[in-house]
Structure 1
Amino acid sequence: MSEEEEVKYDGIKEEEEEEEVKYGISFQEYKNKIRIGDTGTDEFWTKTIEKTLLVLKKRSLNFSIYRVPSKLRNINEDAYSPRMVSIGPFHQSRKDLLKMEEHKWRYMLFLLARTKDRAKLKEALKECVKAINGLKQEVTGCYAEDLNNVTWNELREIVLVDGCFIVELIIRYSEKNIGQNPDEVINGVWMIPTLKHDLALLENQIPFFVLQKLFKIIERSIGEDFRFPCSLTEYALLFFFPESNSKQVQALNSKKVKKVLKSGSLNRARHLLEILHIFYLPSSLDINPRVHHTWGFKHGAAKLLEAGIGIEKVATSDLLEITFSGSEGVIKLPPLSIDETMETVFRNLIAFEQCSVGVTHHITSYAMLIKSLIASTQDMELLQNKQIIEKSASSGEDVPTFFKRMSREVVLKEFCFAELCDDVDKYSRSWLHCRRIKAYSGVRCRRYITALRNDYFSNPWTIISFVAAVVLLVLTLLQTMYAMLSYY
């Protein structure tokens, strides 16, 4: 809490009335504890209020790890719940996740064994334990929910084991030694996709500074001059965004990773999910969030095309880099591949934006924008034909329904594409753009030609009828002209 935010109370002397804010005890429990033996006098009542305010002042406001609100969880429970591994304290009690505990401990051993020496291994373990103990206030202050059933001794072990597991996992995955050792976690066909799902969950996080601390201890323990080829944040991005079979996608991802790492924006990431959030933010930072009367385009893709506004795919790794060229009258969108993993990541990023203070709603705004663009099946077909949206077979529901469900029960404080939508709306209402008139006329002509083909040339009988009608019309006109010429 900053000095500006901190409230000073003259009647409270911390050195005399200090109450130890123990981990795992809720604020309500503190209130009940303080009020035991209430005498009912004004003096005692004032004293209990002062103590309560002191306790409240000591409790952290630097939350970064939250429970997903029930209104979001009820829409799709699976998108917010771990399937294989529990990270952090929220899901430790689930029995169906206990099978991974042995693997987590084994991965901690693998990480410590990188020191190549038993004495160094023991020293590294002691240093890791000491480091976690020294981060008690920082770690406990990250969780927005009181964990009444978890003691600090239990939490520090959870954080240590889970932290070592994550560090070893992302390093091992990037070393490309898959298939070269008997490791069923790395070599399992379905385990890595499931782990990516679990490590991207809002409720399945531990503080990133813990991972950095463990990473540096192991790096230093291996050797004074030793350095891992990648930073921890780069290892994390490589885990979630591995090399693609497509050289173009591979080049774009690599370029974006380097750009984000160079910018230093990842330094403020508080956990793995926030690393993904920062990665998805537009590089240009030209998107200005502001309050907007509508959350998206006023019309879907098909109607925008009819109004003379073009839609094109642009090759970029910035998913949110959506632009509108007024001179060309074209909305340019990066390609979007919709699958189960994408749904999980986006739902949890949206939940993170909904819960966090001071985090921009870029992902929520993007979901709203795409939802407005694909209001119908016709819109979806148009975007698929332009290769802007690709739907995986693993995604069960249709795309319009998918985005409608994703944006349900969501509150948007500021719409990040307000300026873009305003520019498109102004362009659609103006007849001063030659390109728009040309595009509008072209769309109308194609519609009339399509209608003519469907109504009069759909089968041989309609073609014969149409030709006969035309011939009859021509003969009638000729007869009329002949009669008029004969009269004069």
Structure 2
Amino acid sequence: MDIKYNRWKNITAVMLGTINNETFFKARSVSVVLDELRKWNENAYVPKVISIGPRYNGRQELLPMEEINWRCMFHLFNRSLGYTISPDKYVNNCMDTILKMDVAVRSSYLGEIELDRYDLAAIVFNDGCFLLEFLISGSSIDSVIPPFGGRISAIGPNPALEIGKMEVVMRDHTLLENQIPLFVLGVLFQNIFDKGFHYLVHEIHNRALSLFGFHGDLKSVDSKFAHFLELASWNINKE
């Protein structure tokens, strides 16, 4: 069958698949800083500790966080221990799914992303796994699906708990260009954990809200958020 037709079908299926309650998609939602603003204080728009998404990935000053990201990912996938599929299988499933969502991910960013689909998928996969573990740690989900089946990790404590206490990290999470679309977290959650736990997806969003000072149940909020900055802005504007 025609290759372009198959690609069109796949793109359509992926884009439609992102439009539901857990994996909300919004095109061009991750914007860029206008040059007129950037020239006055460029440092105000640049992450100091952690890169999220493709804009600042690979910057020398942000590389020290990469080891912490990998440790968080290790804890995340070891939350699957004790279920029917090995962690390696979950990793492969997630990688395949993120790669297939290239169009949806790429369409979330304003402007051209000059990365091929594999490089972009690698960044989004790594950062998405880090953010998912960052949000699960310390949340109600932590005790429901503990890493290592509740046993002590051989590589030490989960760094995500300490990261959440760092103001500079929270600041980096709300920078305009330092974002990945939140639907990625929903997709990763659904690929990593058994369907019996999918009811917990909304708790991820509740946890994100709590980190920005909102204490309540997101089910009672008639809003959908494309990324962390949009969520933080909503929290400020509602007050």
TM-score (norm 1): 0.38
* 1:157-196 to 2 correspondences below 5 Å: 157-174=122-139, 182-184=157-159, 186-187=161-162, 192-196=166-170
* 2:222 maps to 1:264: yes
Corresponding residue of 2:59:
94
Corresponding residue of 2:204:
232
Q: Give the match's secondary structure for 1:174.
A: coil
Distance 1:141 1:230, change over 3 A: closer
1:229 Cα deviation after fit: 8.6
Distance 1:238 1:219, change over 3 A: farther
Corresponding residue of 1:388:
none
1:133 Cα deviation after fit: 1.8
Q: Is the contact between residue 129 and residue 188 of structure 2 (CA under 8 Å) also seen in structure 1? A: yes
| RMSD (Å), alpha carbons | 3.1
Which structure has more RCO (C-alpha within 8 Å, separation ≥ 6)?
2
Q: Give the match's secondary structure for 2:137.
A: helix
Distance 1:261 1:74, change over 3 A: farther
- Match of 2:236, as an amino acid? Y
CA distance in 2, matches of 1:116, 1:227: 19
1:124 Cα deviation after fit: 1.3
Corresponding residue of 2:186:
212
Q: Is the contact between residue 53 and residue 179 of structure 2 (CA under 8 Å) also seen in structure 1? A: yes
CA distance in 1, matches of 2:86, 2:95: 14
Corresponding residue of 1:290:
none
Distance 1:135 1:71, change over 3 A: same
- Match of 2:234, as an amino acid? I
1:110 Cα deviation after fit: 0.9
Distance 1:210 1:157, change over 3 A: same
Corresponding residue of 2:37:
72
1:84 Cα deviation after fit: 0.5
For these two proteins, the number of residue pairs brought into alignment is 206
Percentage of pairs with the same residue: 29
CA distance in 2, matches of 1:183, 1:236: 18
1:74 Cα deviation after fit: 2.8
Distance 1:100 1:142, change over 3 A: same
Corresponding residue of 2:107:
141
CA distance in 2, matches of 1:238, 1:145: 31
Distance 1:202 1:225, change over 3 A: closer
1:230 Cα deviation after fit: 5.5
Q: Is the contact between residue 73 and residue 130 of structure 2 (CA under 8 Å) also seen in structure 1? A: yes
1:130 Cα deviation after fit: 2.0
Deviations 1:347-396 (A, max 9, x none): xxxxxxxxxxxxxxxxxxxxxxxxxxxxxxxxxxxxxxxxxxxxxxxxxx
* 1:356-435 to 2 correspondences below 5 Å: none
1:158 Cα deviation after fit: 0.2
1:191 Cα deviation after fit: 6.0
1:117 Cα deviation after fit: 3.9
Distance 1:173 1:83, change over 3 A: farther
CA distance in 2, matches of 1:229, 1:156: 22
Unaligned runs of 5+ residues in structure 2 are 9-25, 144-151
1:213 Cα deviation after fit: 0.7
1:125 Cα deviation after fit: 1.1
Corresponding residue of 1:124:
90
CA distance in 1, matches of 2:201, 2:121: 29
- Match of 1:108, as an amino acid? M
- Match of 1:78, as an amino acid? N
Q: Give the match's secondary structure for 2:87.
A: helix
Deviations 1:203-258 (A, max 9, x none): 110111111111222332xx7367549522111112222xxxxxxxxxxx43xx33
Q: Is the contact between residue 208 and residue 272 of structure 1 (CA under 8 Å) also seen in structure 2? A: yes
- The structure with the largest alpha-carbon Rg is 1
Deviations 1:392-417 (A, max 9, x none): xxxxxxxxxxxxxxxxxxxxxxxxxx
1:79 Cα deviation after fit: 2.4
Q: Is the contact between residue 174 and residue 239 of structure 1 (CA under 8 Å) also seen in structure 2? A: no
1:277 Cα deviation after fit: 2.4
Distance 1:130 1:264, change over 3 A: farther
Q: Is the contact between residue 186 and residue 192 of structure 1 (CA under 8 Å) also seen in structure 2? A: no
Deviations 1:426-452 (A, max 9, x none): xxxxxxxxxxxxxxxxxxxxxxxxxxx
Distance 1:263 1:230, change over 3 A: closer
Q: Give the match's secondary structure for 2:175.
A: coil
Distance 1:219 1:147, change over 3 A: same
Deviations 1:5-60 (A, max 9, x none): xxxxxxxxxx9x99x99xxxxxxxxxxxxxxxxxxxxxxxxxxxxxxxxxxxxxxx
TM-score (norm 2): 0.74
CA distance in 2, matches of 1:83, 1:116: 34
Distance 1:99 1:151, change over 3 A: same
